[in-house]
Amino acid sequence: MSAYAQWSTASDNRDAEGMIACLHDDYVFIRHQTGTRINKTEMSDMLRAFMANDAVVIHEQRCLYENSEVVVEHSTMSFPDGTTEAILSFHELRGGLFVRSETGATPISK
């Protein structure tokens, strides 16, 4: 199964542990809002919180491109504060696992 297929299947099933299993031990996520970095432990905590909260909803998740080095995906997400964002994500792969992710997000008005 491809890296994206594993990630999206876990996401569809609200399976935080399945999503965490897609992250390399050296994983880093670069926040689009601030440019700050979070590591695998911090990302794991965030994924657990997101998947446990029914108000966080991922819509229309789809892979735009994938090879052995990168995954590029697009989705929209709704958040507990009532906002919705269109999100473009770039994931660098190492050994079939996400080792670095960066996103760009655009607020969507309702």
Query: Is residue 110 scored above 70 in pLDDT?
Result: no
3-state secondary structure of 75: strand
- Alpha-carbon distance 58 to 21, whole Å? 19
- Contact between 96 and 90 under an 8 Å Cβ cutoff? The reply is no
Residue 3's H or E segment, with its range, is: helix 3-12
Q: What is the pTM of this model?
A: 0.91
What pLDDT score was predicted for residue 1? 80
Tell me the per-residue pLDDT of 82-109, one tens digit each, with 9 for 90 and over: 999 999 999 999 999 999 999 999 999 8
Tell me the per-residue pLDDT of 52-88, one tens digit each, with 9 for 90 and over: 999 999 999 999 999 999 999 999 999 999 999 999 9
What pLDDT score was predicted for residue 7? 97
What pLDDT score was predicted for residue 10? 97
User: What domains appear along the chain, each with residue ranges and CATH number?
Assistant: 3-108 (3.10.450.50)
What pLDDT score was predicted for residue 33? 79
- Alpha-carbon distance 36 to 19, whole Å? 21
The pLDDT confidence band at residue 34, using thresholds 50, 70 and 90, is: confident
